[in-house]
Structure formats: structure tokens, C-alpha cells
Amino acid sequence: MTQLTEQRVVATKPKIGARPVPPAAPPEAPRAEAPAGRRRSRKGAVLVVLALLAAGAAYWFLLRPADEAEAPTAPQPGEVLVVDPISINLADGHYLRIGIGLQMVEGAEKPSTARALDLVVSVFSGRPMDEVTSPEGREALKAELRDQLVDAYEGEVMDVYLTDYVTQ
């Protein structure tokens, strides 16, 4: 009996429908890279620059002082509106004759004094004589009146002066 031997031949041609394979690239020569310490210093310098830019932006948008034009200015005093004196009943049959002057802010129009007189009556009326005549009591009542006038006139009045103050 004879033996048959089978031989296979591997073709170097591409098969039909197969994609061509590009030839392998020759190995590249190693590049001359910067030492590792130098790379780290560049990254550090970039990080420092970015941190400085972030700090500058934060200062500019959050912490810088406002321009003078943007900052609200304190109201400037205008004319003093003198209110005619009135007599008010105090406790125990005593009387107080009181006149006031309203320190208006600059540019405010001349308001009606009826509201101011009403507040004077409500603050001083029925008070005991010793509260009205003592310096501390008088200043406390004046401060209370000033606060109520500033609220009532919506910022057009900035202070109040006692122009006439006589007790009996």
C-alpha cells in the first residue's frame, strides 16, 4: 500500500474581499525627552499660573471695593421745615408747648406737616412731667419721634429739632 501525503500551500495573496493589511511600521527611534524633573516643574508652573488667575478673578468679582459711582451715597441735608408749636396735655394736668423743625434730605419736596404734628401728639401726650423735663427722658422721646418721622415720611426726613419746648 502506498501512502499518500497531503501538502498545503499558504498563499501570500489576499483573499477575495479581504481588506489589505498595511505593512508594519518600522520601530521608531527613542525621542530625546525632557528629564522627569523638568516636566514636573512645567506642570507646577502651569498650576501656579492657573491658581493666580483664579485668585485674581475671585478678587475682581467678589472682593474688590465697589466704585464710588456704584456705592449709594448718604443723604445730604436739605432745608429745615419749621412746624408751628402746639400745646399737648401731659399727665396730672400739666402742659407741654412743643415746636419742631424737620431736617429734610436734599431735593425733598415740602411735605404736609399734619402727619408730623400727629406723631408729636402721639409720642408726647399723657407722659409724666418728670419724663418730659429730664434731659434723658427728653432725648429718648426725641429719638422715638425722629424714628417715627423717618418712617412716616419714607426717608425724606433725616432728623428732628426741638425749636420750642416749654412745660407748665
Q: Could you tell me which residues come within 8 angstroms of residue 9 by beta carbon, excluding any fewer than 6 positions away?
A: none
> What digits encode the pLDDT tens for the residues 105-153?
988 888 888 999 999 999 999 999 999 999 999 999 999 999 999 999 8
CA dihedral of residues 44, 49, 55, 61 (deg, nearest 10):
-150
3-state secondary structure of 140: helix
Q: Spell out the residues 6+ positions from residue 21 whose beta carbon is closer than 8 angstroms to its own.
A: 14
Written as one string, the DSSP assignment of 43-85 is HHHHHHHHHHHHHHHHIIIIISPPPTTTSPPPPPEEEEEEEEE
Q: Which three cell numbers stand for residue 84?
A: 408751628
Pair 102, 158: CB distance under 8 Å: no
Domains of the chain: 77-167 (3.30.479.30)
Cell of 69: 459711582
CA torsion sign for 118, 122, 128, 132 is: negative
Euclidean distance between CA atoms 107 and 123, whole angstroms: 28
DSSP state of 89: E
pLDDT at 43: 83
SS3 8: coil
pLDDT average per 10 residues of sequence, the chain (168 residues): 66 66 65 60 85 86 67 80 92 92 88 91 92 92 92 89 91
